[in-house]
Structure 1
Amino acid sequence: MKIFPALSLMLFAAPLQAHPHIFINTGLSILVDEQNRLTHVKVTWEYDELYSLLVTEDMEVDSDYDGMSTPEDVAKLTGFDAHWIDGYNGDLVGTLGDAALELSGPTAPTAELVDGKIITTHMRSVIGTPQITEPVIFKPYDGTYYTAYDVTLPVTLEGGSGCGVTVDTPDLDAALAMTKAELSQMPVDMDMEAAGLGDIGERFASEIQVTCSAL
């Protein structure tokens, strides 16, 4: 498989950074069956215009530069960000109560180019299809904060009985101020992970909560 420079974000561990280089608007569609078991999560990523431009140039997509995709472009783009290395969590962390959720790798990828932005989707199965007896929390984020995820696209809940979903956005100004203060105390040559900031992206993450009433 040919690896394009702009695609390395999804394929390899990004270096630890103190600020994001790629910006993604994201949304989730959470699928629950009739017994309130969590079955799948569909993830939507809308890449920023600069990163989209890098990808389309690397992949020789949008040759007329109109910012829209042709069927041929769609065929090239589909799945470009769905080739993950082992251990990559897809920048999505889920918990049920105190227990971590195990999610499959991406399936059923789609892609399109709209107004100069690449928009992709992929589906992830929830291993074990656990019943939602406690709140489910999803947090889309990159621990290194190389990529910033902003939950501005729809978050929906499909199926279930007596279930609801809410989105809690972080106080970005407070998180940024805290991060700047911590970084200012670090030696220039110190690794962020060694300083205990290897999962710094979580403090900038929106929290998506799913609850269901007892059946």
Structure 2
Amino acid sequence: MPAAVAALCVSGAAPALAHPHVFAEANLEVAIDADRNVVALRHVWRFDDLFSSTVLLEFDKNADLVLDNAELEEVGAVIHESLAEFNYFQIVTAGGKEVDMVAPDRIMANYEDNQLIILFESRPAEPLHLDGQLDFGVYDPTFYTAIDFYEDKNLVVADLPESCIRTVVRPNPDEAIAMNQQSLTEAFFNDPSNNDYSKLFATRLELNCSGEG
């Protein structure tokens, strides 16, 4: 596996709360059908220039400093395989319980303005109705990659019913640690890849919906 893409999924190589090495701006659209079911999560991640240039150099087989369609297909395929064991860095919960997601069929890659952009769509494995509290976000359990929503408008729900309240939650790291210090064990700080505590620090979209409307 090319080193640049493998870096997205470094397992246990970075200590918890260390500074990430790869950065990406995320956009997420939550798609809802007429029956108030979540039918898809549409992700777009735009990576920083340094990481993007590394990907360009590693996948540019003909050395023309351009990623053609075949090379972009390879980038997408390698990222698809690399992120599979991490559920594609997705956070999806309903009533505080994790929601099973179907893996995306493919990941599309593009390269523009010196930045790598990936796009993919996933869907809940079972019907996910807008009722109670639902949370959506992205996070890297190894802390190696910082994928974040720079602005609240980067989290979108088209045609959100009036009975739902939309909130973008940006946890304060110090407060998150203080609130969970009893469960934050030494193993967490030594090997963040073997736990889900890193999602405590992830920006997420919170939807609170009544069963009507």
TM-score tier (shorter) = 0.7 to 0.9
Q: Which moved more, 1:51-60 or 1:156-165?
A: 156-165
1:28-80 CA distance string (max 9 Å, x none):
11011111111111111111111111111111169454xx7554554443433
Structure 2 equivalent of residue 92 of structure 1: 90
The one of 159, 179, 192 aligned to 2:189 = 192
Whether the aligned pair in 2 keeps the contact of 1:143 and 1:202 (CA below 8 Å) is yes
The one of 107, 123, 144 aligned to 1:109 = 107
- State the superposition RMSD in angstroms: 3.4
Distance 1:196 1:22 in 2: 16
Structure 1 equivalent of residue 166 of structure 2: 165
The one of 123, 126, 129 aligned to 2:127 = 129
1:107-145 CA distance string (max 9 Å, x none):
242221122110111111111122111121113111221
Q: Which moved more, 1:7-16 or 1:93-102?
A: 7-16
Closer/same/farther in 2, CA of residues 62 and 140 from structure 1, 3 Å limit: farther
Distance 2:12 2:57 in 1: 21
Distance 2:84 2:61 in 1: 28
User: Matched residue of 1:23: which SS?
Assistant: strand
Structure 1 equivalent of residue 199 of structure 2: 202
- From the two aligned structures, give the one with the greater helix fraction: 2
1:169-202 CA distance string (max 9 Å, x none):
2335x479x69xx9xxx99xx8734699944532
Whether the aligned pair in 1 keeps the contact of 2:59 and 2:67 (CA below 8 Å) is no
Structure 2 equivalent of residue 36 of structure 1: 36
**Partner AA of 1:171 in structure 2:** N
The TM-score with structure 2 as length reference comes to 0.77
Query: Which ranges in structure 1 are unaligned for 5 or more consecutive residues?
Result: none
Whether the aligned pair in 2 keeps the contact of 1:16 and 1:144 (CA below 8 Å) is yes
**Partner AA of 1:118 in structure 2:** L
Closer/same/farther in 2, CA of residues 117 and 14 from structure 1, 3 Å limit: farther
Structure 1 residue 87 displacement after superposition: 3.5
Q: Which moved more, 1:129-138 or 1:74-83?
A: 74-83
User: Matched residue of 2:54: which SS?
Assistant: helix
Structure 2 equivalent of residue 25 of structure 1: 25
Distance 2:59 2:207 in 1: 38
Whether the aligned pair in 2 keeps the contact of 1:170 and 1:205 (CA below 8 Å) is yes
Aligned runs of 1:38-77 on 2, under 5 Å?
38-60=38-60, 63-65=63-65, 70-71=68-69, 73-77=71-75
Whether the aligned pair in 2 keeps the contact of 1:56 and 1:62 (CA below 8 Å) is no
Aligned residues: 202
Whether the aligned pair in 2 keeps the contact of 1:144 and 1:200 (CA below 8 Å) is no
Distance 1:171 1:54 in 2: 32
Structure 2 equivalent of residue 139 of structure 1: 137
Whether the aligned pair in 1 keeps the contact of 2:30 and 2:157 (CA below 8 Å) is yes
The TM-score with structure 1 as length reference comes to 0.76
**Partner AA of 2:47 in structure 1:** Y
Over the matched positions of the two proteins, sequence identity in percent amounts to 19
Distance 1:74 1:38 in 2: 29
Query: Which ranges in structure 2 are unaligned for 5 or more consecutive residues?
Result: none
Whether the aligned pair in 2 keeps the contact of 1:144 and 1:199 (CA below 8 Å) is no
Distance 2:194 2:10 in 1: 19
Whether the aligned pair in 1 keeps the contact of 2:188 and 2:197 (CA below 8 Å) is no
